[in-house]
Amino acid sequence: MSRKQVYLKKSVVISILEYAAACHPREGILLLRGRIDGESIVVEEVEVPPLSIHGVGFSSFQPYMLPIDFSIIGTAHSHPSGILEPSTTDINRFYGRIMVIAAYPYRTEKDLAIFDSEGRRLRYKVID
């Protein structure tokens, strides 16, 4: 496990889980907005990427459609299969510093996991 500590605002957790449930049975994808302080990553907001695609077994967006915004620090997407691990495609299309996966049934923060670009699970805490 990596030493990085990730902090998610409670509103971010709720938004990710609700968005995943609304997209189900298709995958949903969101951008994560926040800041990096040394070894800490703080996720403060989510945003729906422009022209995102939600399919059965995949979700995507066009990074070139995004404005230059250094506050976008990663992505969140859902796994309707319930598998709380990144796929090879997830790792190969990694965007930013972290990736959050929300797995079905999208009920609590235990249905979330956070990974770095090498697929290592990161610890996280929910903050107000």
Task: Please enumerate in sequence order all residues whose Cβ is within 8 A of that of 66, keeping only pairs 6 or more positions apart, or say none.
Answer: 31, 49, 50, 72
pLDDT digits (tens, 9 = 90+) for 51-66: 787 878 778 888 877 8
Cα-based angle 31, 35, 36 (whole degrees, multiple of 5): 120
Domain of 34, in residue numbers: 5-127
The total of structural domains in the chain comes to: 1
Q: Tell me what pLDDT residue 3 has.
A: 65
pTM: 0.91
CATH code where residue 62 lies: 3.40.140.10
